[in-house]
Amino acid sequence: MKDKVFIITGSSQGIGRATAWKLAQMGAKIVLNGRNPDKLAQTFQDFKKAGLIGSAFSGDVSRPQDCMDLVKHTINQFGQLDYLINNAALSVELAPFEDTEPPVFQKIFNTNVLGVINMTHAALPFIKENKGGVLFISSLAGIFGLPEATAYSSSKMALTAIAESLKLELAGSGVYVGIAYLSFVENDSNKTIFNKNGVLIPQPKHHFSKPVAPETIAHQLIQMLQKRKFRTHFSWLGRVFYLLNRLSPWLVEKIMLQIYRKRKRNEVTNPQYSININQT
């Protein structure tokens, strides 16, 4: 990874920040990106204090012009672009489909799907020049449509189709395409998500599985890049879930229905109980 130039979207915090940090320690040149200028500036200051090579560009991937400007900034700063990690994503609280306002779906898809398309479209010509790669960050929620996570789950499932199509189109070009299905990740304490009405609220905690540290995920993502693996599931649960869904979709549906019914019963007896799949 030494001297390779990366754009990592959503890298002012969480997994994006941890991945940027580790890659920079390996000698890569990182262009940090985020929508919040203050968070991004703080992350960039930390980079400079550690003597890491990088730059920062504040922009919203849901805006095509911001994506083109981000790529232009990268080329102006480093003269090349090797890898794009599509990490930026928005989440929404668990809520039934009929209770979730349509504008919430639009917000989620604008970033999680169209943002990925905008960014990849802008970066791909330069990535092809250097036979670099594009990595899509998906989730357990992108393997099977989860109840009360319609917006988030469907947006992450869309990434599979994009990655699969792009991989075939770029076959023989030397460009790497990969998609990572993350499990439950430890989030920053100040992370926010949308509620069913489209209002930002603090990220709730889940009670389903012990979250994995962003630094651990970052290490796994870098290994995936180095091996140029197309599809990786970052937990035993993800691997089992994927295989079962391929071999026996009806069984996965039955299991998910049982989990859903159990959760609803627990919510009746304990209103504080929740399983937040958006933490992936």
Residues forming the active site: 152
Angle of CA points 95, 151, 274, to nearest 5°: 35
Phi, psi of 115 (to 5 degrees): -60, -40
Beta pairing partners, 6: 30, 83
Task: Fill in the DSSP letter of residue 188.
Answer: P
Instruction: Classify residue 178 by burial, with Cβ atoms within 10 Å: 0-12, 13-18, 19+.
Output: buried
Say how many Å lie between the first and final Cα of the chain, rounded. Answer: 26
The amino acid at residue 51 is G
Structure tokens at 263: 């959760």
The DSSP string of 191-236 is: -EEE-TTS-EEEPPP-SSSPPBPHHHHHHHHHHHHHHT-SEEESSH
- Taking the CA atoms of 45, 124, 84 and 227 in sequence, report the sign of the dihedral they define: negative
Q: Minimal CA–CA distance to 108: which of 150, 138, 146?
A: 150
Q: Give the β-pairing of 54-58 and 83-86.
A: unpaired
Angle of CA points 140, 102, 69, to nearest 5°: 70
Task: Fill in the DSSP letter of residue 187.
Answer: P
Please check whether residue 70 is in contact with residue 7, taking contact to mean a CB–CB distance below 8 angstroms. Answer: yes
